[in-house]
Structure 1
């Protein structure tokens, strides 16, 4: 009988798997680290394939520790830190390492965006540009890695790439899209204006889905590669901070969470937008 749910958290330095019984009980949890590379001062990158390898290793350990087989899982859902884009070629293979949100190489692009596009960015994304966001990171890649840019055919984010490897489906959730800085939060669609400003081809962008949608099922090839059961439903998932809010019970106006992790964050639920160039 299928009694278990699998949560997959791609963190800043490790993947964390948690197996839940359908009644809500935590059955087992496993952490598997992967490296971050610092090729130059202020740069921070990871290999997308390292996420997949760590997921596979962690899954084997988790199932062994829980004494559960893969065919007993009802579904699985991923989350990850925001802003980490993965550029894929026409065969959906990663073209380069993923730039992390801690990377500071795009400071010149940020200055340009603040000078030329601040009002547009604030109006559509409700935030001011910094090196954290995907938009200036993509502008840096376009300027400094033209061989990568010219071969790009798809753009995903960290959890989306792992989910693609499991299901073969290219998509992201609307919350992840908001973290890109080329999504219009007002119209709730990819921003034509900001994509044009960065030179991002809109055909690269994945379809947008709700975090609770079923993205697809584990393919035969993925079942064989990772040790999962073919046909297991895989949810779209969302970003780590949003799901932490939900898990902490912060679900109503005025509720808040203080998070101390790779970065500190204070999250408060409001019933209205609070755009500020200082946040």
Structure 2
């Protein structure tokens, strides 16, 4: 079983990747997307979203990181994909799943699931541009309005030469509302001959087993579940029990140090509150602590409450 840490825009940045991979259990990370319009993005854009490139594409604890690209222009995506791997990315991932309205409005992310031929052209161009030994993967949802094109989209990705495909088991319209339709992944899997990774609504070890059985996939990707339970990957592997709250608090303090003294300090209050939203699902203590920090706006006061 391979477990991948999901790309979560505005949430799983390099600081969170560092911390969660130190907790352990992950085999691979995928970055927040690099938005590609009609240009070759400057190297600094890749380094900003994926500082791990300066460490041969690994997190400090040694987990490989793959850069994700989002866009609609096949040739520009191909050129940026080549740049990503030249800078040290462990392959490249293509985003056909982002449900954000601003992204979809500019014809990126999940909106492309209405156009299997465009998806095919993008994956093919990227596959031709990137050295063969570097994996080219894609991430998609079951569809945009519905799942009627799910098999066709997956075939378009596979036939274009993708190395693997992550499927988030919901449509764009479904958003993040439960349930995830894992059984739909199994149906798609019957029609493509590349490895499939299942994603969506995996919050605990039982969910992981159910997902694997219903999707017929061994490999899974964790997103929000790993933020709610930081050692979820290791729990799923049977290596650890539920992380105690005191350990989670220590992680929060570590994360606070990262954010406050790193290059993203100004985002810290919003980022840590967002994380508390996920932690509150698993830890009553997080919910109680969140009520104390939710109205605080300065970083020092928030950190004081966490340490207290």
User: TM over 0.5: same fold?
Assistant: no
Q: TM-score, normalised by structure 1?
A: 0.32
Higher normalized strand content (fraction of residues) = 1
Which structure would you say has the larger RCO, counting Cα contacts within 8 Å and 6 or more residues apart?
A: 1
